[in-house]
Amino acid sequence: MFRFGALRFRAGYIGLALTFVSLLFLARHWTTKAETNPPLPGAPAPAVVTGNVHPSLRLSGSIAALNAVSLTAPRILGSRSGFNRGGDGGGGGGGDFNLVLLMLAKAGTPVKEGDVVAQFDPQNQIQRLDDYRDTVVQTENRLKSGTAALASTVEAQAQSVRSAKADWDKAKLDLQTAPVLTEIDVEKLKLSVAQAEETYQELDRQTASVRESQRAQLRILEFNLEQARIEQRRAEGNVQKMTIHSPIPGFVVMASIVRNGEYGQVREGDQIFAGQPFVSIVDPSSMVLNATLNQVDAERLRLGMKATVRLDAYPGVEFPGTISGIGAMAVTSTFRAGFVGEVPVRIRIQGQDPRLLPDLTGSAEVSLDLK
C-alpha cells in the first residue's frame, strides 16, 4: 500500500517537471520569432488631433409645409329627386353628382394664384342647368296663364252672382202683384223668391272659395317657379365649381386614393367623391421638418439653434435650417414605454428646392452651440 502511494507521488512530480520544460521552450520560441520578425518600417502610428468639439443632437421626422392648401372635390348642390325638373332629366338626377376628373395639372408643376389646377367633367351640370332653365320658362308661362285664368274665373263668378241677384230682385217684384193674383199664384211667386234668394246667397258664398282655390293654384305655381329658379342658380354654381383654381402660388402635390384595391396617385379619369381631397398646393418657401425628440434631450434645445436637414430619399443632399418651434408638453408614443415622453420639434428649412416634398422622411442634426 505504501509502495503504491510512492509510485503515484513520483509520477506526479515527473509530470510537473515536463510541463515546466514545455513552458520554457515556448517562451524561448516566441522570443526568437519576435527578434527575427521586427516591425515593418514606415508603418503609420496613431495620431492624436486636437480641436473644438461641437455637441449636436440628431432628430428624425417628416417634411411638411406651413403654407399649404388642400383642394377637395366640389359638393354638388341641388335636388336629387329631379322634382320639378324639365328637359330630359325629370326622372331623377343621381348621375349629376358623379365627379370625373377631366383635366389635372401634373405633380410638381408650379402654379400661380388663380391658375387652373383641375377640371371635372361639366356635361352633367350643363345638362342640369339647361333643364332647369326650361323649367323656369315653362313655369313662368304657366303662372301668367294661371293669373289670366284666375281673373276670368273670378269675373265669371261675379257675373253669375249678379245674374242671381237680378233674378232674386225680379222675383220680389213679381211678388208685389199678389193682390191681383190667386192664392195659388201667390204661393208660386213666394217659392220663386225663396229659390232665387237661396241661389244668390249660395253663389255669393262660392265666390270666396273660387278665389281662394284659384289663388292656391297660382301659389303652387309660384312655389314651383321659385324652386326652379333656386335649382337654376345652384346649377350655374355647379358648372363654375367644375373648374378648380389655385388659391395660392406654389407647386402641385398629388393626393393618394385607393384604385382597384391599391394605393396610387390621383390621375385624370378618376372618379372623385364630393369633399374628397385630391391635390394640394404647397408654398415651397414654407417647408419645415416636423420631428420628435426624447424629453430629456429636448431640454437642451433652444429656439434659433442651427440645424442641418437631410432627406432619406436623397442621400448627400443637405439643407440649412433653424429651430422655430419646441413643444411645451411631452407626448407618449405607442412604440415606447409609457414613462418615455417625446417632445415635438419644428425646424424651418431655409431656401427652396423641388426635392422638398411633403411627407418625405428626413433627419436633422441640431448644433447645440448657440454661438
CA angle 87, 91, 95 (to 5 degrees): 90
Phi, psi of 30 (to 5 degrees): -65, -35
Crossing angle of helices 183-241 and 123-175, rounded to 10°: 170
The pTM assigned to this predicted structure is: 0.62
Q: Among the residues of 176-291, which ranges form H helices? A: 183-241
Q: pLDDT value at position 188?
A: 84
pLDDT tens by residue, 316-351: 899 999 999 998 877 776 666 556 678 899 999 998
| Cα atoms in the 13 Å half-sphere on the side-chain side of 265 | 12
Domain boundaries, the chain: 1-40, 56-64+283-367, 122-241
Cα four-point dihedral sign 23, 25, 28, 30: negative
C-alpha dihedral, 226 to 228 to 229 to 230, nearest 10°: 90
pLDDT of residue 205: 81
Inter-residue long-range contacts of 323-328, CB under 8 Å, 24+ positions, other chains counted: 323/347, 323/348, 323/366, 324/288, 324/348, 326/298, 326/301, 326/302, 327/298
Question: What architecture (CATH level 2) is domain 56-64+283-367?
Answer: Beta Barrel (2.40)
Q: What is the pLDDT at residue 55?
A: 79
- What is the C-alpha separation between 283 and 66, in angstroms, rounded? 8
> Grid coordinates 358623379 are at which residue?
98
Which residue matches cell numbers 294661371? 146
Question: 150-169, pLDDT tens digit by residue?
Answer: 778 778 888 888 888 888 88
The low-confidence residues of the chain, meaning pLDDT below 50, are: 1-11, 13, 21, 27, 30-35, 90-91
Q: How many C-beta atoms lie closer than 10 Å to residue 342's C-beta?
A: 19
60 forms bridges with which residues in the sheet? 292, 363
Written as one string, the DSSP assignment of 86-146 is -TT-TT--GGGG-EEEEEEPPTT-EE-TT-EEEEE--HHHHHHHHHHHHHHHHHHHHHHHH
Alpha-carbon distance of 242 to 244, in angstroms, equals: 6
